[in-house]
Structure 1
Amino acid sequence: MPRINVLPEEVRNYISCGEVIESPYSVVKELVENALDSGASRIDVKALDAGLSFISVTDNGSGIAYDELPLAVAPFATSKIKCKNDISQVRSLGFRGEALASVCNVAALKIFSSVADGVAGGMIYREGGREIDYRKFACPKGTTVEVRKLFFNAPVRKRFLKSPKYMNGEILRIVQEYALSRPDVVFSLRIDDKNYFNDLDASDDERARVLKIFGFENADYAEIANPVMGLRCFAYPLEYKSSRRWQFIFVNKRPITNSAFLKAAENAFEGYLPRGKHPPLFIYMTASSGIIDVNVHPAKREIRFQSPRTFYQMVYDVLRNKYSKNKMAVYPGKPEIPGDSAAPPPALPLQGADAPKTTGAMIYTQGHCAAAAHTGAEGRKPEAPDAGIRWDNFRYVGKSHGKFLIFSTPDAIHIMDFHAAAERINYEKIQLKITSGNIAAQKLLVPVEVKLDASEIDALKENSAFLVKLGLALKYSIRSVFVQSLPAGFSGLEKDMLEKISACLIDGKKHNDIFESLADRAVKIIACHMSPRAGDDIRAHEAEAFIGELKKCSEPLRCPHGRPVMFTIPVSKMDLVLRR
């Protein structure tokens, strides 16, 4: 066995920096936290090449004295705590004294700082843990930190970074979080040649910040407070989304991640929003130092609560009281259909008896059903039927619960989820049209405006050429997207589809080499929105056409998302259960 050795300081520092500096957004996070802790009222952030070439954070805070600059970049040197007992009472964002030292080990770092205007400041330059320059330097009050050549000496770490577009999104997200947590501080952000947050003001409150950053209006407000803890919530149920990307939690002005609190919010909204939808939500918590522990992880994104159940219950109660089931449910846009899988539990009535019922666009027109049964989707040549399924023996029996079609064969009963079946058929149709380059689109007489977040708009704009191939033509503005054409047969909500596609592009595109899978996911989303849904009226000849189309599909028994299309009950099983 090799002998046990004490690692050199250089190796120890290199290992520890891996916990603090994971990617360029980690550098931005640490520098912004230092700027806020210095009492800055303005913070300017710049990044080039996704932060790998250049990151700059400038503040007008208290600054660093010239003779303390070498200490600022030393490991475990900090002005925020002095002894162990201080950790339990810490209110600053940073306190571990690891950030600048960690950045120095994997990048070239320059700090320009002065404690007062007209007083000579200083500059220190370190690269790969070694000091290159340290001298007095004339600069205004405050601090500017410049980081270049990030991970220049860590090629393995660099290989495992995500795509530049994804990392730019992470930088934007982290600055958004701190701009939301501190509306009294003016932030600006420039990524390559694009500026963000140009209209922020130190007089903003939380509502104004949300409006300026995301464009959300008409917040619902709820709060609770006591001497130990407090909570304020700003919710935007009319702007509901398909993901939790627009839900933020702040504890003592510190952005954190906590899935339990977000789950509490989801449970509180049950029955008020469609299932799978999440409102933009901004939760501001305050807690006395004795009941939380921020010293959990070097990244300081997690907090340990002395009584997590109490905080969970507080989030749930505040929101539940605001959105109890005795209030009208929020369903902007297309009315929901009883029995629809996207509808909330039946305990909450969604619409009156005379309310209009929507009908999704049918995949098959009356004049073409027979042809579809013989030729398959878009004239495809019949393929070998799935082993074990005798499609020609299917006989339509009827419909059940507004979402299932029942078929009979000599040896079984088959229960089909017609939405899943239509998804499979439409998915393969679209793929075939993309291959042949003749996908049909329906141009809208009046473009439909869909309000989206800036990151969603950017994701759609970057992939506009591919979206046009799918029949989706969009025109872009600062806060909105205007839908000019849709894939032929589309019958869903444009907002819902665009949110899902943009979420797929934002959250899934971590590496350039998986773009094809992202394109496939976009096709699946469009296929879903072209398909009839639970509650839609499916007639007998249309039900029979499903069988004709499915038997031509390459994978007829599963929808594109992997769900089963059909459930089969053999006659032998029914005989056994009924003791025949």
Structure 2
Amino acid sequence: MPQIALLSQETIDKIAAGEVIERPSSVVKELVENAIDAGSSAVTVEIKEGGVSFIRISDNGCGIEREQIPLAFLRHSTSKIKSVEDLFTVTSLGFRGEALSSIAAVSQVELITKTNGDFTGSRYLIEGSKEVSLEEIGAPDGTTFIIRNLFYNTPARKKFLKSAQTEGTYIHELMQRMILSHPDVAFKFIMNNQVKLQSSGNGNIKDIIYHLYGRDITKALLPIAHESELFKVSGFIGKPMISRGNRGYELYFVNGRFIRSQILSKAIEDAFKPFLMQHQYPFTVLYFEIDSSLLDVNVHPTKMELRFSNQQELYREVQSILSAALVHRDIIPEVPVDTPKKNEMEVPKIEKVMPEPFEQKRLEEIRKAVRKDSPYEIKYPVSRPMGTGSVSSAEKLLTTIKSMQPEQTPEADIKNQPEQPEEQILTQPEGIRKEPLPEQSKKETEKELAKEAYVLREEETYGAKPEGSYEQGSFLKEEEMAKQKIIGQLFDTYWLVEYNDRLFIVDQHAAHEKVMYEKLKKQFEKKEFTSQAISPPIVITLSMREAEVLERFKEQFTKLGFEIEHFGGAEYSICGVPGNLYRLNTRDVLIDMLDELTDGISERATTDVILDKIASMSCKAAVKGSQRLSLPEMEQLMKDLMKLDNPYNCPHGRPTIIAMSKYEIEKKFKRIV
């Protein structure tokens, strides 16, 4: 028989480290959270080879006092909480006291730190949980961690890491979430000596979304702001046309912490369900503020999971808020007629980068150089490192300016220039005619440089109408029907309607399906349910969990019109079904309801399943594509569509109407060049 033995401290540390530190991104997450908890306003993260060989994280936080440094690397030592009661009111990102000890157990760690009250800093080395040295050193206020050779003493764990590029991508995604979760902190992320991400820390969430996800997404955002006794939420949700095929863009933060929650995900997805097709997920950036006493954050070592004490109320309120925000918007997707085909070559997008901290000073130097009209070449530093994206318009402009200068570079001028890294110096292109710039051109050049220096211009983000959508509530108002001109039917499926300066295309099947769905749904919601007896009864076999759910919600099933009796053992007999659902497959409807209720998230699951079945019924009964309608029938369909709260999508999320602008059509015919 195997003998019970106490594990060595080294083995214990490595087992504990395996729970917290899974890959390089885990190290970055823990140390960046520590930096934020330390009150930092600026955090820089630098990695090499996916973070396996090198990670450096610097902040300007409060630092660590010299005598407390060794203590910080002991397991379960923390300054965040003092007692078990503090777990129920914790507001910091970290609190378990496991991060530093876990990192030190599987890597070589160098710590440089200094508090505001000390004259000198401290340098501490620890490798594989073994202290190497602690010495006095000159250092700025704040803390810098340098992690080398991650998993050097646990080759089995290192073997399961992915490629350096993949591990770097994990850290890149993590830093995106960190930037979003704390918009008031200035972050900088450097990978293999190239700046990949940078935020200004000005607190403007829309600016951050623009730089992380681009203009198209930023222009298709809807603001969310709501406060109740239960929670406060703010942020943005994306319009249905920017949905994605996975949940990677479904982001939400609770008390500044990025989490994954089945409750919140279901509330968000159920709100978007009428607007999205199957297997499509919304874009969201939502910030929840919830009383910490109503949360349990001590669920998992990674702190990515939370438990809510009032999950049903939370689900209902979040789903209601987002549904209202979507329903009260009149959105018709606008499709440009000259969209390139997938197999056509597309112009690569220019990667946008936040301006460097000393951008203004750089611009001033450039302006002086332009005014100087010097016969010599001057080498200018570029505002971004090479490799972070295509050359910006400002950089091209600078190249052109310098190419117009004579080639000669006096030795004296070179000495006066500050040294720059080789990759950051714009060299003069050959073969371009060199002529002095006219005075007027210089002035225009200065203006252009000032504009190009900041890639995010306010009017681009906030002023223009979102691309890819057409918002005009008047089109689907009954009083506007007189202004609409039905041109005809296309392919016996689509109706063409002219209104103002737009051509609207209506899918007759999707539109009729939506009208029928809303009609059946209204009847279902208003009607007093009656039970329709069935003979012979349908006998079904349920698992223990399904039977438990059925007994728990038996009263609700009875109100809906179901008559269900225990038949013995695991079998139940269905003797009656709701009268208005008599044509449906009773067995499937009941099983689907039980499956939805099993997760314990939404008590509305019974109604939701029935509505899904109604959607299928309306789809089958609706007028089909390639079925010709008369003009009066189409006019009546348009009238019925206009009476709906959400006429823009069929029950399965497909659009009922799309729009094309007169401008786009004229551009296609070369009337506009």
Pairing 1:205–2:207 present = no
| Pairing of 1:92-103 with structure 2 (within 5 A) | 92-103=92-103
Query: What corresponds to 1:58 in structure 2?
Result: 58
**1:116 aligned residue:** 116
Name which of 286, 289, 296 aligns with 1:283.
286
Give the secondary structure class of the aligned counterpart of 1:277. Answer: coil
Contact 1:272/1:328 (<8 A) preserved = no
User: Could you tell me which amino acid in structure 2 is paired with residue 212 of structure 1?
Assistant: H
Determine whether 1:331 maps to 2:322.
no
Q: Normalization by structure 2: what TM-score?
A: 0.50
Identical-residue share of aligned pairs (%): 32
Structure 1 residue 226: deviation in Å? 2.4
The alignment of Structure 1 onto Structure 2 pairs a total of residues equal to 357
Alpha-carbon spacing, 1:329–1:38, altered in 2? closer, same or farther (3 Å): same
Work out the CA distance in 2 between the residues paired with 1:451 and 1:222. 30
Query: Could you say if the C-alpha distance between residues 179 and 536 of structure 1 is closer, same or farther in structure 2, counting changes exceeding 3 Å?
Result: same
Match of 2:226 in 1: 224
Q: What corresponds to 1:16 in structure 2? A: 16
1:296 equivalenced with 2:265 (yes/no): no
User: Aligned AA for 2:224?
Assistant: A
* 1:269 aligned counterpart, secondary structure: helix
Q: Identify if the C-alpha distance between structure 1 residues 451 and 317 changes in structure 2 by more than 3 Å, giving closer, same or farther.
A: farther
Instruction: Tell me how far 1:315 sits from its aligned partner.
Output: 2.0
Evaluate the alpha carbon distance shift between residue 449 and residue 173 of structure 1 in structure 2; reply closer, same or farther with a 3 A threshold.
closer
For structure 1, list consecutive stretches of 5 or more residues without a partner in the other structure. 336-357, 362-440, 462-477, 480-534, 538-580
Asked whether the 8 Å contact 2:187–2:201 carries over to 1, the reply is no
Deviation at 1:312, TM superposition (A): 1.8
Listed as ranges, the matches of 1:180-579 within 5 Å are: 180-198=180-198, 200-215=199-214, 216-218=217-219, 219-237=221-239, 238-324=241-327, 327-333=329-335, 443=344, 447=346
Aligned-CA RMSD value: 3.0
Structure 1 partner of 2:30: 30
Q: Give how far 1:24 is off.
A: 0.2
Check the 8 A contact 1:121/1:137 in 2, yes or no: yes
Q: What's the CA shift for 1:57?
A: 0.5
Query: Shift of the alpha carbon at 1:31?
Result: 0.3
Distance 1:156 1:536, change over 3 A: farther
For each residue in 1:37-86, what CA deviation from the matched residue of structure 2 results, as whole angstroms up to 9, or x when unmatched? 00000000000010000001100000001111101111111111111111
| Residue equivalent to 2:655 | none
Structure 2 partner of 1:418: none
Task: For residue 227 of structure 1, report the CA deviation from its aligned partner.
Answer: 4.0
Say whether residues 1:69 and 2:69 are aligned partners.
yes
Task: Report Cα offsets for 1:269-296 as digits up to 9, x if no partner.
Answer: 1232344333321111111111101011
SS in 1 for 2:147: strand
SS at 1:322 equivalent = helix
Match of 1:107 in 2: 107
- 1:235 alignment partner AA: I
> Cα offset for 1:328?
3.8
Residues 1:99 and 1:93: Cα distance change in structure 2 (over 3 Å): same
Please give the per-residue CA displacement for 1:118-148, whole angstroms capped at 9, x wherever unaligned: 6111111000111111111110100000000
- Please say if 1:157 is aligned against 2:160: no
Look up the equivalent residue of 2:244 and give its one-letter code: K
Shift of 1:332: 4.2
> Structure 1 residue 452: deviation in Å?
9.4
Aligned-partner residue type, residue 176 of structure 1: Q
Amino acid at match of 1:249: Y
Compared with structure 1, are the counterparts of its residues 142 and 442 closer, same or farther at alpha carbon in structure 2 (3 Å cutoff)? Answer: closer
Are the structure 2 counterparts of residues 92 and 330 from structure 1 closer, same or farther at C-alpha, using a change threshold of 3 Å? farther
Contact 1:118 1:140 survives alignment (8 Å): no
Deviations 1:283-317 (A, max 9, x none): 11111111101011111111111122222222211
Aligned to 2:248, the other structure's residue is in SS state coil
User: Which residue identity lines up with residue 303 of structure 2 in the other structure?
Assistant: K
Contact 2:49 2:165 in 1 (8 A): no
**C-alpha separation between the residues in 2 aligned to 1:168 and 1:301?**
20
How far the C-alpha of 1:195 sits from its partner, in A, is 1.0
What's the CA shift for 1:150?
0.2
1:168 partnered with 2:171: no
Structure 1 residue 330: Cα displacement: 4.7
User: Is the deviation greater in 127-136 or in 140-149?
Assistant: 127-136
CA contact (8 A) 1:64 1:114 kept: yes
Three-state SS of the structure 1 residue aligned to 2:180 is helix
TM-superposed deviation, 1:453? 10
| 3-state SS of paired residue (1:16) | helix
CA distance in 1, matches of 2:312, 2:208: 30
Asked whether the 8 Å contact 2:39–2:62 carries over to 1, the reply is yes
Which amino acid letter does the alignment assign opposite residue 250 of structure 1? F
Contact 2:230 2:314 in 1 (8 A): no
Question: What runs of 5+ residues in structure 2 fail to find an aligned partner?
Answer: 354-386, 391-454, 457-623, 627-673
Cα deviation, residue 161, structure 1? 1.3
Look up the equivalent residue of 1:181 and give its one-letter code.
S
Letter in 2 for 1:299: T
Change (3 A) 1:153 1:293: same
Query: What are the superposed Cα offsets for residues 226-271 of structure 1, whole Å, 9 maximum, x if unpaired?
Result: 2441122401224332222112110000110123322321221123
C-alpha distance in structure 2 between counterparts of 1:310 and 1:157, whole Å: 42
Confirm or deny: 8 A CA contact 1:49 1:164 kept in the other structure. Answer: yes
Task: Look up the equivalent residue of 2:306 and give its one-letter code.
Answer: I
SS of the residue corresponding to residue 225 of structure 2 reads strand
Q: Secondary structure at the match of 1:197?
A: strand
Note the C-alpha offset of 1:318. 1.0
Is the 2:211–2:352 Cα contact (8 Å) retained in structure 1? no
Flag the structure with larger Rg.
2
Say which structure is richer in helix: 2
Could you tell me how far 1:214 is from its partner in structure 2? 1.8
Return the alpha-carbon distance in structure 1 between the equivalents of residues 255 and 310 of structure 2.
16
Q: Which moved more, 1:238-247 or 1:60-69?
A: 238-247
Cα deviation 1:470-490 (Å, max 9, x = unaligned): xxxxxxxx99xxxxxxxxxxx
Q: Distance in 2 between matches of 1:107 and 1:443?
A: 48
Q: Name the aligned partner's letter for residue 43 of structure 1.
A: V
Change (3 A) 1:234 1:157: same
